[in-house]
Chain A
Amino acid sequence: AQTVTQSQPEMSVQEAETVTLSCTYDTSESDYYLFWYKQPPSRQMILVIRQEAYKQQNATENRFSVNFQKAAKSFSLKISDSQLGDAAMYFCAYRRGNFNKFYFGSGTKLNVKP
């Protein structure tokens, strides 16, 4: 069974600093996708970044980047130059190939201190 684990329920970072959120997953599949979603308080869940398992290169989107360690089944999110607007719940998610089901981690609440 696929499981996604986020071991940090809550983290804090100073504005302009860098923070890394952890995610591990369990799968025996070779074709899968990994995602980080952001959900600000009382606002919509939006995609931050995605990674295809077959790609060795780590995905980046502006200040957001991932460290994808396939053998270790680890998929961490690094946020550089943190901004107040980055404060949110962050969910790591896994999707196997073209199967419709997404598996979500329990979430990490990120606080950004001015």
Chain B
Amino acid sequence: DAKTTQPPSMDCAEGRAANLPCNHSTISGNEYVYWYRQIHSQGPQYIIHGLKNNETNEMASLIITEDRKSSTLILPHATLRDTAVYYCIVRDLHASGGSYIPTFGRGTSLIVHP
């Protein structure tokens, strides 16, 4: 029961910026947007999260629209090692007394090519 929509696949040239979109039109006021990625045969890796302000860390930038209905993950200078499936997740008040339990959609398969 993922609440996000992402394109199934994207590709990007090495060294260029990769912009991965995510729609979360039903997001509520207290829900955060999280991004994870999963490189083949590894566990998901946390990238970044935000509530309404744009966020930046050493891995990526997260741009959240003013109405919070969509966001974009930006990898400023993509490398071949950034090839992975990228998951956009919103805080899911799923059972367990309101604890945050990440549920995954299909994500975006990003392929970075030389």
A and B held together in a complex: no
